[in-house]
Chain A
Amino acid sequence: MITVESLTKTYGSFTAVDDVSFTAQPGRVTGFLGPNGAGKSTTMRVMVGLTAPGAGEVRVLGRRFKDLPDPGREVGVLLDASAQHAGRTGREILTIAALTMGLPRTRVDEMLERVSLTPDEASRRVRNYSLGMRQRLGIGTALLGNPQVLILDEPANGLDPAGIRWMRDLLRGFADDGGTVLLSSHLLHEIEVIADDIVVIGNGRIVAQGTKDELLAGAGTLVRSTDGVALATALTAAGITARPTSGGAVLAEAELARVGQAAFAAGIPVTELRAAEGAGLEEMFLSLTAESQRDVTSHTDPEGAAA
């Protein structure tokens, strides 16, 4: 269980993390979703005490991270797989982690096998590892102490498709076993496949959170034309709650036929018309990632995203 309460982190005048609150529950995989530079890594660094928070607090298993007596045994952390001494071998990196946690050496071999690093690969220096191999080693370090909580920053990066599948199964199993998993990603699809709960962050603020089913359940219609604003105005005039998102798309709270008719009546050519089904989240995420729309909050009024 991880509890983040009103976390804020500023660098000079720049607010990297802005009043962020959420919890990651045991038995569930919590996806921490946000575009590049949204503040995911910063939040995670604060969680594990590598960065001091400006305001707010994080508790892992009910305690502040620095108060955990032997953190590796309770919380597995992977922040940056490349942040290792390049001159150490993979096996050595697991060995020093195992020694720090007071684990038997046999645990290192077990773990190397678990993350599919061959003895030959394990004896190479990390300098010569591919990104995927580093990622496996990092996941191995996180799992080494048989923790109850996993905090993983973009763990899928660099993994091959088989590796991604393996990681998904691993995290699923970990959560089903009662463990807490928090993983970040900038890919909606990744999170959709793996997470039970989703927390979406943009420009340092939480813009949506809930269970995957709730967030992805789309009541309503997605309709697109070349001029989204005009379309939304026309739909509103027809008595339909509608909200333009990005790329000419509009989210409307009415069934397909009614939305289509209203657009036809207004004489606006429609390029796409379909049931929203998670489009709310997708559109919101797209608008977050769109460079031109840094001011994300205006698009995400409560009813809209809940649609």
Chain B
Amino acid sequence: MSTATLTTQDTAPVTARRTDVRPAPAPTPFRRVVNVELRKMFDTRSGFWLMASIVIASVIATGLTIILGDREDLTFDSFAASVGSPMSIVLPIIGVLAVTSEWSQRTALTTFTLVPSRRRVLGAKLLNALAIGAVSMVVALGVGALGNLVTAAINGTDPVWDIASSTFAQIVLANELGMLLGFALGLLFRNSPAAIVGYFVINLVLPGLSGALGAAQAWWADNAGWFDLNQTRFLLFDSTLSGQEWVQLGLTSALWIALPLAIGLRLVLRSEVK
């Protein structure tokens, strides 16, 4: 092949230079960026298994609930709760890795040369993360619903569907918030281990600390809702929030999610990619 090229150049006189005037290509549409970023979340072995783990974890959680729970008392609410707990781990990890893998695997060099607007790339990633979060929740609750049907069949009773659509929406929201938190930490640290540790500390360790603090200080117990994201976020899973609680949720989300997201975004937009 290369020799053939050489020969042609040797024998044939150099033909007219390829004209330099070419129409500028159309700008990369955002849809295309979104599409590519979505694909990148599935096309590695780890990405694939992370996505598969959504289904696997839901099935395991549902199965455990049927096998181990008190079958008479099982309702859709029980299943929603049990499929929800693995989701609160898997989804934020997906959020973290969607960002950090560009740095840890150094794919950012290609990504940001093909689409120099980092804001658009990150926007596409965020959109995908949220979409995957919503779809995953539907899948997980679907598996839970299946479990509910199976249980009813075993018991020979009618299945109990005791989750209002508003509660359903709240559960999805709670998980999306967790995913956003993971995403924000990913931007902030751009390092998978650090961001993952950060997420678990905020999500699993801080509630314990806050509880300890609340036990020791009445003031904290009364007012933690204004600082502690988890207090109101956890309420989303199983209760109706009062107007004040919604305000608290908004404030704490701004503090724990929007702020790191903004700082992380700034850092990423300015950082050297190498």
Q: Which of A247, A271, A289 is most buried by chain B, counting CB atoms within 10 A of its CB?
A: A247
Give the interface size class of chain A: 10 to 19
Chain B, residues 1-39, CB within 8 Å of chain A (1/0): the string is: 111101100110000000000000000000000000000
Residues of A within 8 A of B3 (CB): 246-249, 286
| A/B pair count, beta carbons within 8 Å | 27
**A127 interfacial by beta-carbon distance below 8 Å:** yes
Q: Are A290 and B10 in contact (CB under 8 A)?
A: no
User: How far apart are B191's CB and chain A's nearest CB, in angstroms?
Assistant: 10
User: How far apart are A40's CB and chain B's nearest CB, in angstroms?
Assistant: 20
Residues of B within 8 A of A292 (CB): 1
Tell me the nearest residue of chain B to A292, going by C-beta.
B1
Chain A, residues 243-272, CB within 8 Å of chain B (1/0): the string is: 000111100000000000000000000011
Q: Is the interface of B mostly helix, strand, loop or mixed?
A: helix
Q: Are A247 and B7 in contact (CB under 8 A)?
A: yes
Q: Are A247 and B6 in contact (CB under 8 A)?
A: yes
**B274 interfacial by beta-carbon distance below 8 Å:** yes
Kindly identify which residue among A127, A249, A271, A286 contacts B10, using a CB–CB cutoff of 8 Å: A271
Q: Are A290 and B7 in contact (CB under 8 A)?
A: no
**A120 interfacial by beta-carbon distance below 8 Å:** no
Q: Are B7 and A291 in contact (CB under 8 A)?
A: no
What separation, in Å, do the CA atoms of A249 and B2 have in the docked complex?
12
Tell me the nearest residue of chain B to A291, going by C-beta.
B1
What separation, in Å, do the CA atoms of A128 and B272 have in the docked complex?
11
Q: Are B4 and A247 in contact (CB under 8 A)?
A: yes
What separation, in Å, do the CA atoms of A135 and B11 have in the docked complex?
40
Interface residues of A (CB under 8 A from B): 127-128, 224, 246-249, 271-272, 286, 289-292
12 CB < 8 A contacts A-B: A127-B274, A224-B7, A246-B1, A247-B1, A247-B4, A247-B6, A248-B3, A248-B7, A249-B3, A286-B2, A289-B2, A291-B1
Interface residues of B (CB under 8 A from A): 1-4, 6-7, 10-11, 274
5 tightest A-B contacts by CB?
A247-B3, A247-B4, A290-B1, A246-B3, A271-B11
